[in-house]
Amino acid sequence: MPTDDDIDLETKIIGNWKLIQMTGNLLDSDTLGADMEWQETYLLQADETFIKLRDRDGVITEASGTYHFINNSNKPLITVTFDNESEIVGSCTSKSEDIMSLESETIFFKFLEYM
């Protein structure tokens, strides 16, 4: 059963989330803002659907689907499941699902899974 804190956090994640930094596995591979290869935004909606937009050199790619909030004992997670496979799904192991860790009310990290 969700607690009041869970419900409050679920309400706070609704809205626009913008990609502000990309971090790679190599030393000094971080890129910020306009220096990134593309810009991305997630719009998390109250009905547990989302829209993801990627702007790469002025070409906008859109994907959508559903998300699920999981408040586990370690860190809250957001799983997003895309309606269709898309090139803008960031997972290395799935073309239809991403998992993000909610670090604060304003920051989440995407898990990149390598096989």
Asked whether residue 115 is assigned to any structural domain, the reply reads no
Query: Model confidence at 24, in pLDDT bands (50, 70, 90)?
Result: low
The CATH number that applies at residue 86 is: 2.40.128
DSSP assignment string, the chain: ---HHHHHHHHHT-EEEE--EE--SSTT--EEGGGSS-EEEEEE-TTSEEEEEEEETTEEEEEEEEEEEEE-SS-EEEEEEESS--TT---SS-SSEEEEEE-SSS-EEEPPP--
What's the confidence (pLDDT) of residue 50?
95
Domain residue limits at 17: 4-110
What's the confidence (pLDDT) of residue 114?
35
Asked whether residue 25 is assigned to any structural domain, the reply reads yes
- 3: pLDDT strictly greater than 70: no
Query: Model confidence at 115, in pLDDT bands (50, 70, 90)?
Result: very low
Question: Averaged over 16-36, what is the pLDDT?
Answer: 79
The tally of domains found in the chain comes to: 1
pTM metric for this prediction = 0.77
